[in-house]
């Protein structure tokens, strides 16, 4: 599909248009200039189109302040289990729950920009949920629970599936992605789709910005990064605009925004959640995962996402006597990040380790990789991501009617940079210049998986660890590439006031196990602090 004002589709260009490297380098130079100009802009990128509240206006207008206060008293701070009990007892309806969250979206999301599009059929879905409960046919805890989905995950029309990119702004998928179909089958109400770092973080180096959704904002403060690429999902859940959400991760894209926005995020074992219908970046390590305010809610959502393949009790997790935790202290302490102040990393990690020791775990320090090896793995990861953008992402974009190559995507952005690449397109430019072949990309991705698995497996075995303890997404180049499950749990606020999460990395396939560990850490700390909106 050709969007208005876009340059001709690559099929209309003469053969060999990009056969020379000279045009690619010229476009790269133009992209660098555009990125530098974007960095100097003081304006915040806005949505391409406003949220459409028309399908809900009458229902919202009819909601009395008394009813709104009654629902707020039941909903604010409640987890899925509590909401399900209220729904089962008829003290709350799915319609009430949806309207409560829509009202919060209208009140706060012009500033937060966590949502790209509202589902115009959401009220119908809530009504159907209420009818099922009235007939004694509830589908379980998730029935009637409003959730949002990252916009690189296909949702059936009339919703658009854009991955945040201008070239797919009008794209409507043929149907739901497998994971969306699964949660709808569980009765969840799709409130809308979430903003993201465009093309799952493969365009700009600025987290949380897309041409379609604008710039997501961290609800804890304008000076804090929202993280990426599942920025909007984490922001919406943190701010109470949805109960739970679904994001995706290639390397840190779930755990970083979850940590930065004070919520729980999980990257499951690679391949555990079906990936059909998700715009890919690197298929050897792309995974959809849950975002929630509690570990129990994340477990409930993951169970629905996997069709019941993961079952974790949502009650008290109990102690961890005899268990061993490998504490990745050296790597966490030496972390430096432009996105967060890491000067208190050591104290935060020690706090998490002490909490686990208090419930019976034995903590022992271990290292996955020294600084030199870590740098080498990060360089390999960047090369794999650029290759994935060139071959996997662009194949999906082309199939949806967009440009077929990174060179065409680059030129599309340069035709109207302020609107189409509001924070530049550094990664697109790098991919266009590198021109990695599909074969070389596949080989590099496989080699990265093997290397990361070896490093992580050796760390587990060296100290006999059941799980590894880190912070935020410090170890995403390893766990994500290796396909291990990882969960980040709110650890309170840094000295700067920005949220931070403690991250537990499990062995491959041990998703339920790592969730139980996360529940134990959550119960031992109770550290989450809600944002003040």
* Number of residues that make up the chain: 533
Residue where the block lists tokens 């990882």: 486
CA–CA dist 211, 482 (Å, integer): 31
Q: Report helix, strand or coil for 423.
A: coil
> Cα 199 to the chain's mean position, in Å?
12
Cβ–Cβ < 8 Å for 38, 421: yes
CA–CA dist 232, 150 (Å, integer): 7
CA–CA dist 305, 302 (Å, integer): 5
338 φ/ψ angles, rounded to the nearest 5 degrees? -80, -10
Cβ–Cβ < 8 Å for 480, 267: yes
Active site residues per annotation: 150, 229, 253
HSE, side-chain direction, 13 A CA sphere, residue 351: 20
Cβ–Cβ < 8 Å for 149, 190: yes
CA–CA dist 304, 183 (Å, integer): 5
* Neighbouring-strand partners of residue 215: 209
- 3-class DSSP string for 253-293: CCHHHHHHCCCEEEECCCCCCCCCCECCCCCCCCEEEEEEC
Residue 290: which region, alpha, beta or left (left: phi > 0; alpha: psi -120 to 50)?
beta
HSE, side-chain direction, 13 A CA sphere, residue 203: 34
| Closest listed residue to residue 250, CA positions, set 389, 141, 353, 68 | 389
Cβ–Cβ < 8 Å for 127, 170: no
525 φ/ψ angles, rounded to the nearest 5 degrees? -115, -40
Residue 84: which region, alpha, beta or left (left: phi > 0; alpha: psi -120 to 50)?
alpha
């Amino acid at each position: 599909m050709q969007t208005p004002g876009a340059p001709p589709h690559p099929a209309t260009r003469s053969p060999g248009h990009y056969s020379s490297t000279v045009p690619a380098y010229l476009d790269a130079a133009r992209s660098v200039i555009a990125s530098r100009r974007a960095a100097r802009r003081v304006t915040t990128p806005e949505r391409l189109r406003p949220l459409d509240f028309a399908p809900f206006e009458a229902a919202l207008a009819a909601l009395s302040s008394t009813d709104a206060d009654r629902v707020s008293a039941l909903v604010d701070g409640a987890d899925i289990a509590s909401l399900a009990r209220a729904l089962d007892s008829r003290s709350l309806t799915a319609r009430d729950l949806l309207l409560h969250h829509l009202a919060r979206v209208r009140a706060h999301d012009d500033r937060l920009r966590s949502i790209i599009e509202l589902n115009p059929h959401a009220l119908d879905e809530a009504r159907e949920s209420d009818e099922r409960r009235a007939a004694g046919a509830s589908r379980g805890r998730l029935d009637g629970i409003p959730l949002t989905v990252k916009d690189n995950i296909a949702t059936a029309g009339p919703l658009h599936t854009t991955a945040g990119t201008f070239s797919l702004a009008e794209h409507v998928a043929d149907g739901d992605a497998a994971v969306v179909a699964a949660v709808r089958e569980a009765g969840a109400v799709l409130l809308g789709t979430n903003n993201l770092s465009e093309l799952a973080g493969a365009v700009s180096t600025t987290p949380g910005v897309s041409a379609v959704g604008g710039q997501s904002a961290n609800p804890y403060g304008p000076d804090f990064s929202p993280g990426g690429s599942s920025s909007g999902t984490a922001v919406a859940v943190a701010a109470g605009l949805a109960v739970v959400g679904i994001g995706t991760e290639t390397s840190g894209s779930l755990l970083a925004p979850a940590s930065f926005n004070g919520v729980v995020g999980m990257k499951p074992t690679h391949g555990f959640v079906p990936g059909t219908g998700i715009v890919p970046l690197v298929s050897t390590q792309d995974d959809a995962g849950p975002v929630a305010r509690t570990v129990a809610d994340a477990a409930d959502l993951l169970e629905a996402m996997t069709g019941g393949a993961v079952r974790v009790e949502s009650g008290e997790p109990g102690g961890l006597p005899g268990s061993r935790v490998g504490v990745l202290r050296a790597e966490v302490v030496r972390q430096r990040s432009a996105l967060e102040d890491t000067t208190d990393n050591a104290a935060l990690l020690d706090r998490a380790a002490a909490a686990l020791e208090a419930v019976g775990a034995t903590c022992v320090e271990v290292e996955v990789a020294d600084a030199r090896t870590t740098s080498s793995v990060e360089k390999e990861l960047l090369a794999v991501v650029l290759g994935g953008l060139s071959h996997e992402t662009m194949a999906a974009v082309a199939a949806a009617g967009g440009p077929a190559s990174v060179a065409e995507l680059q030129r599309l952005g340069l035709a109207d940079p302020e609107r189409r690449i509001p924070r530049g397109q550094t990664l697109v430019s790098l991919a266009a210049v590198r021109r990695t072949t599909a074969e070389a990309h596949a080989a590099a991705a496989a080699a990265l998986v093997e290397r990361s698995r070896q490093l992580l497996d050796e760390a587990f075995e060296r100290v006999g660890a059941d799980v590894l303890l880190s912070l935020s997404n410090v170890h995403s180049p390893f766990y994500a590439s290796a396909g291990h499950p990882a969960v980040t749990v709110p650890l309170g606020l840094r000295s700067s006031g920005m949220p931070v999460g403690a991250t537990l990395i499990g062995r491959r396939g041990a998703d339920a196990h790592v969730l139980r560990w996360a529940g134990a850490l959550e119960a031992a700390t109770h550290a989450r602090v809600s944002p003040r909106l």
